[in-house]
A and B are shown apart, each in its own frame.
Chain A
Amino acid sequence: MKIFGLIRILFVFVGFILFSSCQDDDICVESLSPRLTIVFLDSLGEKQMLDSIFVDVVDLSNNRIRINTIDSANVDSLQLNIPIQSTAVKYIFYRSTTTGITDEIQLTYTPKMVFVSKACGFAYNFYQTSYTTTNNLITSITQNTDAIENEQETNLFIIY
């Protein structure tokens, strides 16, 4: 009788294999190549709501792309794409499309491939970051991190 009990266990075992073979855990849930996270502050160091902000991104080959057009919406932060096949990028900030007064923030960095998971593959993180800015409308900038590794952390404060 014990033999039959064991046969039953073996069948359950085989059934479990049939079931588990059909399952796939290949869903990417981890965070990947992060964007640059910027938070706007006022002169008192409090978060500042901007009613409009426009950003152009200019890569090393001087290709200029409008990447953010946030108009008539209150924003206190932005996330900007970082080109991976480059070591520097220039962001041009407009407070309004009509005044024409702009500020340029240049970001230099070292991109590095990092393994995330089987489902996600690799992502790029950005290290040794440094920033320079013009001071037309921007009062100053404060660098918060030396590396850009996730999107939860603020990398740069801009004080208008």
Chain B
Amino acid sequence: MSKKPIFLLFTSLSFFLFFSQEKNVEEKSVKINTKELVKDKKSDKSKSDFFIGIDIFNPIYGLLTDKKGYEARLSYQKKFNWAYVIEIGTEQNVYQQNSWDIGIKGPYVRLGVDKFLIVDDYTTKKNGFYVGLRAAFSRYNRNPRQVPIRASDGSLLELATLPEEDVNAFWMEIPLGARVDVYKNKLFIDFSVRPKILLGGSTGESGIENITIPGFGLEQSGLNFGANWSLVYNLAL
């Protein structure tokens, strides 16, 4: 847990440094291309863009912790300021606190939209800040290798092992992020931080509620925060 904030700070700072370096160049290009702006806006209506990406943050984070996961994303933009996004991934994790030992693994999927609020580059309209919304679902395998059973006073009565079971969870996320060009308007970095709100799910035979979920992470009073730092490639059609 303790390494996560430091890593998050580092990645977000590096992003902001990077973004501020880009800015001067783009401001010039805005001035040069003002005349073409009207023309571009018209052509944007017929232009669609696909962006495919892979998450770099979580695989690196997985090197430091027991949480191992991979995630890919595909987004489609018909109008430049609205993107339809699908994110799919797989994750395995363990929860080993309070005498629990639970292993989980499984896939997850998130569907949603990103609304680009500020577009930084008026010639391409591919760089910008966005706020989004995701509906997410995971069906995963849970292995309760050790569960604590407590007496009236809270002391540990015994430890039990319960059979593996398949359970599911659904939640929503509100990504706040940015996409910025790193190579010739083809390769981008997409960074977002996102609060996650657990909405529900199944408990399985054991009755255990969702504790840690692929794509959601550790549940804390139904909430969690996540980060995503993806390398994205633009397929203009």
Interface set of A (CB-CB < 8 Å, partner B): 2-3, 6-7, 9-10, 13-14, 16-18, 20-26, 28, 31-35, 79, 81, 84-85, 113-124, 151
Contact = CB atoms under 8 A, between A and B. Distances in A.
B149 A113 contact: yes
A35 to B, nearest CB: 5
A116 B203 CA distance: 12
Contact of B118 (A2, A26, A28, A32): A2
B99 A17 contact: no
Contacts of A20: 220, 223, 225
30 contacts: A6-B117, A7-B16, A10-B12, A13-B176, A17-B5, A18-B5, A20-B220, A24-B220, A26-B98, A28-B98, A28-B150, A28-B154, A31-B152, A32-B151, A32-B154, A33-B152, A33-B157, A34-B152, A35-B152, A81-B151, A84-B158, A113-B149, A115-B208, A117-B209, A119-B98, A121-B98, A121-B148, A122-B147, A123-B149, A124-B157
Contacts of A23: 220
A17 B178 CA distance: 17
A35 B154 CA distance: 12
A155 to B, nearest CB: 13
A81 to B, nearest CB: 7
A81 B155 CA distance: 13
B57 to A, nearest CB: 13
Contacts, number: 102
B80 interface: no
B207 interface: yes
B220 A25 contact: yes
Interface of B: 1, 4-5, 8-9, 12, 16, 97-100, 117-118, 120, 129, 147-154, 157-158, 160, 176, 178, 193, 203, 206-209, 211, 219-221, 223, 225, 227
Going nearest first, the 7 A-B pairs with the smallest beta carbon separation are: A121-B148, A115-B207, A18-B5, A122-B149, A32-B150, A17-B225, A6-B129
Contacts of A9: 176
A131 B14 CA distance: 70
Contacts of B227: 17
A23 B149 CA distance: 24
A3 B120 contact: yes
A6 B160 contact: no
Nearest to B149: A122
Contacts of B12: 10, 14
A118 B219 contact: yes
Contact of B152 (A6, A32, A121): A32
Given A21-B5, A115-B203, A118-B219, A14 B149 contact: no
A20 B209 CA distance: 21
A7 B118 CA distance: 11
